[in-house]
Chains A and B, each alone.
Chain A
Amino acid sequence: MTTELAIVNGTVFDPLNQTGGEKQDIFIRDGKIVNSVRRKARTINASGMVVMPGGVDIHSHIAGSKVNSGRLLRPEDHRKDVEPRTKHTLSGVGHSVPSTRTTGYRYTRMGYTTVFEPATPPLKTRHTHEELNATPIIDKACFPLLGNNWFVMEYLRDGKIEECAAYVAWMLKATKGYAIKIVDPGGVEVWGWGKFLRGLDDTVAHFDITPREIVRGLCKVNKILNLPHPIHVHTNNLGNPGNYLTTIETMDAVRDLDDGKKPIIHITHVQFTGFSGSSWLNLGSGAPEIADYINKHGHVSVDLGQVIFGDTTTMTADGPFQYFLHKLSGNKWVNVDVEAETGSGIVPFQYKRGNYVNAIQWGIGLELALLVKDPWRVFMTTDHPNGGPFTAYPKVIAWLMSSKAREKTMSKINRTAKKRLDLPGIDREYTLEEISTVTRAAPAKSLGLTNKGHLGVGADADVAIYDLDPSKRDLEQNPIAIRRAFKEAAYTIKDGMIMSKKGQITGTRLGRTFYVESTISSELESNLLKEINSKFKDYYTIEIDNYPIAESFLHNPSKISCKAEV
């Protein structure tokens, strides 16, 4: 059966196809964007509304063992936010750590159609896929954590780059993962002993390697494997005053590897590693310096990790940082280290407007977004739920688009913080075209998802229609209208089917789970397998046969193939 849909009279923002607010009709057939449809096709009249590709969230903690531990930790967070069962939806809960169905529905309501889980411990990735399988409607993927992996560190220590590349290729296949994720390289291994790593050039005990070498090594591996997305890095020293220097150092550590084609390193939730100052008392924003570096160097991309005032749950693979946050806040704390690979930590947290540090943090994210000139290299995230729940994205969009909205919030934040920030003096306002870039087009491009983030012929028919008429009035003067529009899309269309109308879920389907496979030479692969086989029993408490995840485990797999240089 042919399912056809026409979206007519809408104002289209499709930056990847150079459309920035023109009236354009969009045609859909069998889940794809096409050139035309029959006259009797179902038609949506998008007159007076904005049409964009479905949102692409490059970094959001929605599935896996640490997310589930977060849910377990916070029954009190669930009780205040419930979703009853309806005709098309199953029930659920959760303000900052929603249950899987609620996650899928809430993203869909906002017009988001693709969401990536950015940190999965390989040994427990089967769990991540089970949860992704149980997350309705949206397309998804996950990034395996490799920055504290024993095999990786040993290969890099021994200068065996090709073997390391072969191992990473095997890992991506074994975990059905999408990209190389690095969190606090070396630091989480050291935390396995309850200790902390100081800097990029500190040596990781027992492994004789430094964080800098890990980042550089994996950056080279990424290139060798021709992976679609650059290394995705959560730097060392997260949460420490003065850590903006670590961010710049990390970006600079791979500068010489740049080939000028596209970014080779992505620094995630850069707000958390954008602190200047030397203590909590003189904490400041390192955003201007970081933005300056990004503006001058094309090999880097970032996402914000914007702070939202309110109650949330922090969760990362950065075990040492999470312990530190527990001590600082006094809040309950979960920690789970994963043998030979990585770790995780979870701590509930409240960002308060009156708190000096939180207010500075709030400012850092926005300063970064407004000072970085290239909207193709700065993506909008809250590092859900670390900075705040993803349901707060409309607030962030309003802040980016409207200095009036920023001023209103700034009038309520800690006064000393406001004085220290550059933000009050920045009057740049994002246009809708820039918003569609940082929330859809750019993340899709960065991920190498050629059929996402745009509305050109052949793209997946993931479309969001927002009740916003840019021709009628100056949107920036009406941030409430912006928030309202992005909170509940007028229509969210996934693979050509209407899934949500004015905030009501009208259907359900199973989205795809993407994964990347990079083919290496069979000789390299067989040597690798011999080597892993001999060491696996020593490193892990499960058999190697039980480690790799079969494609059939993913309920709707979608492979992206690439060919390695080895």
Chain B
Amino acid sequence: MKQQTTSSVVCTVCGCCCDHLEVTVQDNKIINAKNACAMSSSKLLGYMNERLMQPMIRGKNGFSNCSYEKAIDVTARTLARSRSPLFYGWSLTSCEAIEVGVELAEETGGFIDNTTSTCHGPMILGVHEIGESSCTLGEIRHRADVVVYWGSNPVHAHPLHMSRYTVMSKGRFRRSRSERKMIVIDVRRTDTAKMADIFVQMEPNKDYELLSALRAAVRGDEIEQEEVAGVSVDRIEELAEIMINCEFGALFFGLGLTMSAGKNKNLDAALSLVRELNSKTKFVIMPMRGHFNVNGANNVMTWLTGYPYALDFTQGFPRYNPGETSAVDLLARSECDSSLVVASDPISNFPHQAASNLASIPLITIDPHTTPTTMCSDVVLPSAHVGIETGGTIYRMDGVVLETRTLVKPPKGVKSDVEILSAILRRLKSIRRLG
């Protein structure tokens, strides 16, 4: 069969959501992906590895294959019996699927959370307090003359970020690398740090202190110590000067800031620093979202319920209290009696105690691939890859919305998340109706 090349393809790996890919398909298989970074190529050329092909239900002697109808029925019955189901994942599927997920959580009076709670959740907690000075990525491409990466390593986690949006991109007012200054702040000299004009190595777990010192320097206060977080005060003041004197500065941060000691307090400090810089110049801040639709999960949940993640429907209306209603905490306290996981691998990614409790309750997983989570599940439903085998809308790290497309057909019989979740919801409602 002849080849077909589609351009302007939207990548579905990290939060960059690059949409300039050119994908060539032959015989319903992707054979080439032009403009794709290493992670993206890996996915586009390897999406058929270790695929789940058929729904499975766990019995006395392990897994046995079954039909979607059977698996959906068992799932719906399990959820109907539950008093506090947890719906988790969502960052690697489409907004349309997430909307159904929220409805399922509401229908069952359960909890729904997405990977934000173990990722950039602390940033959102900071936004509730401080707000956020931000923009779309194009503004940075056009205007930024100072770009800071703090606790973030785009060479490894967002490979095209710098060439598409920041220091190596071409903007209307900044046409080359030499017109921009790149600063990297990290606890180790990463591959990104090697590319920086200025690399500041700091001690681990001291981000809050360093941010506070920077804020003081920006305000013009005198810092009494000689060094903070392993960084000399002279250096800190130098950094502050660069930030104040730029025309447009951008601070990108990664999990180095959200996961180390201080967590959301680190983000309070970072958001405040950027807010305060705006009284001297123009400055923005943006989280380096890791998954291609975690921002979509936040947005969908927010417009439907008012809150971006860690949602609790047990009282009949949306409640939100990260630390109490977030997935790791719920599981660590054994508060959930069943769970439906969509396009995520919490058994691998959650700390051991929480993962262990998750494995011990009835667990249903919807995923394209075999993962430790599917290995521990009671029901497994294979699904199609968003952006490859099915479409749907996704949100880039800066809130720009893109529509992904179907490039190839999914493996025979494999359904999309939207189809599966809608079927579960329908079945659940009919079980309820029949009593």
Contact A99:B306 (CB < 8 A) given known A91-B317, A538-B172: yes
Residue on B nearest A81 in the bound complex, by CB: B306
Contact residues in A for B124 (Cβ distance below 8 Å): 72
Which of B7, B130, B139 is the one whose CB lies under 8 Å from A339?
Answer: B139
Known: A94-B306, A194-B281, A337-B136. A72 touches B127 (CB 8 A): yes
- In the complex the two chains form, is B401's CB within 8 Å of A338's CB? no
- In the complex, the answer to whether B139 meets A71 with C-beta atoms within 8 Å is no
A73 vs B307: C-alpha distance when bound (angstroms): 9
The winner among B8, B130, B165, B318 for most chain A CB atoms within 10 A is: B318
Determine the distance from Cα of A78 to Cα of B320 in the docked complex, in whole angstroms: 10
Contact across chains for B304 and A334 when beta carbons are under 8 A apart: no
Q: CA–CA, A92 to B302, complex, Å?
A: 10
Give the contacting residue for A85; candidates B99, B275, B281, B317; CB below 8 A.
Answer: B317
Known contacts A75-B320, A91-B317, A332-B130; A543/B106 CB under 8 A:
no
Asked if A93 is at the interface of the complex by the 8 Å CB criterion, the answer is yes
Interface size bracket, B side: 35 or more
Is residue A226 within 8 Å, beta carbon to beta carbon, of the partner chain?
no
Given A91-B106, A99-B306, A541-B164, A127 and B135 touching (CB < 8 A)? no
Q: Mark B138-177, 1 if CB is under 8 A from A, else 0.
A: 1101110000000000000000000011000000110000
Q: How far is the CB of A164 from chain B (nearest CB, A)?
A: 20
Instruction: Digitize B101-112: 1 where CB-to-A-CB distance is under 8 Å, 0 elsewhere.
Output: 001001000000
Q: Is there contact, CB below 8 Å, between A91 and B316?
A: yes
Name B277's closest neighbour in chain A (CB-CB). A194
Complex contact B139–A130 (CB within 8 A): no
A194 touches B282 (CB 8 A): yes
Q: In the complex, A69→B298 CA distance in Å?
A: 10
Of chain A, the residue at the smallest CB distance from B315 is: A84
Q: Contact at B307–A91, with CB atoms within 8 Å?
A: no
**CA distance in complex: A128, B148 (Å):** 31
B399 neighbours in A (Cβ, 8 Å): 65, 124, 127, 336
Verify if B422 is at the interface (C-beta below 8 Å from A).
no
Asked if B135 contacts A99 (CB within 8 A), the reply is no
Least Cβ distance of A552 to chain B in Å?
10
Give the shortest distance, in Å, between B227 (CB) and chain A (any CB): 32
Question: Is the pair B131, A99 in contact by a Cβ cutoff of 8 Å?
Answer: no
Do A339 and B135 touch (CB < 8 A)?
A: yes
Q: B residues within 8 A CB of A82?
A: 317-318
Whether a CB of chain B sits under 8 angstroms from the CB of A146 is no
1/0 contact string of B303-343 vs chain A (CB within 8 Å): 11111100001011110100000000000000000000000
Q: Does A545 lie within 8 Å of B305, measured CB to CB?
A: no
User: How many residues does chain A have at the interface if contact means C-beta atoms less than 8 Å apart?
Assistant: 62
From A65, A84, A123, A540, contact of B317 by CB (8 A)? A84
Interface residues of B in 352-397 (CB under 8 A from A): 393, 395
Chain B residues near A346 (CB-CB < 8 A): 131
Determine if B7 and A545 form an interchain contact, defined as CB atoms under 8 angstroms apart: yes
Hey, what's the 0/1 contact readout for A319-350 against B, CB within 8 Å counting as 1? 00001001100001111111110010011000
Q: Which of these, A130, A134, A539, A540, contacts B393 with CB under 8 Å?
A: A130
Q: Tell me whether B234 is interfacial, beta carbon within 8 Å.
A: no
Interface of chain A residues 430 through 466 with chain B (CB within 8 A) = none
Chain A residues closer than 8 Å to B130, beta-carbon distance:
332
Docked CA distance A339–B140 (Å)? 8
Is A542 interfacial (CB-CB < 8 Å)? yes
Which residues of A493-542 have CB atoms within 8 Å of chain B's CB atoms? 538-542
* Residues of A with C-beta under 8 A to B304: 92, 99-101, 134
Bound-state CA distance A300–B309 (Å) is 45
Q: Does B133 contact A (CB under 8 A)?
A: yes
Given that A85-B317, A134-B304 are contacting pairs, would A193 and B129 also be in contact in the complex, using a CB cutoff of 8 Å?
no
Give the residue among A84, A91, A98 with the most B Cβ atoms within 10 A: A91
Q: Are B393 and A99 closer than 8 Å at their CB atoms? A: no
Contacts of B247 in A (CB 8 A): 193
Residues facing A in B77-113 (CB within 8 A) are 95, 99, 103, 106
Tell me, in angstroms, the Cα distance from A78 to B133 when the chains sit together: 22
- With A82-B317, A546-B19 as given contacts, are A336 and B135 in contact (CB-CB < 8 Å)? yes
- Chain B residues with Cβ under 8 A from A131's Cβ? 303
Check if B128 is an interface residue, CB within 8 A of chain A: yes
Q: List which A64-80 residues lie within 8 A (CB) of chain B.
A: 65, 67-69, 71-76, 78
Interface membership of A422, Cβ < 8 A: no
Supposing A73-B131, A339-B138 touch, asked if A543 and B20 sit within 8 A by C-beta, the answer is yes
CA distance A103 to B315 in the complex (A): 21
Q: Does B137 contact A (CB under 8 A)?
A: yes
Q: Are B318 and A92 in contact (CB under 8 A)?
A: yes
| A to B CB contacts below 8 Å, 22 in the list | A68-B303, A69-B132, A72-B124, A72-B298, A72-B302, A73-B127, A78-B318, A82-B318, A90-B103, A90-B106, A100-B304, A127-B395, A194-B282, A206-B173, A327-B279, A335-B284, A336-B132, A339-B142, A541-B137, A541-B165, A543-B7, A543-B8
> 3 closest pairs, A vs B, by CB?
A339-B138, A194-B282, A93-B306
Given contacts A93-B306, A98-B306, 15 further A-B contacts (CB under 8 A): A74-B128, A75-B306, A85-B106, A90-B106, A100-B304, A126-B402, A127-B401, A130-B393, A130-B401, A193-B143, A334-B133, A337-B134, A337-B136, A340-B138, A541-B164
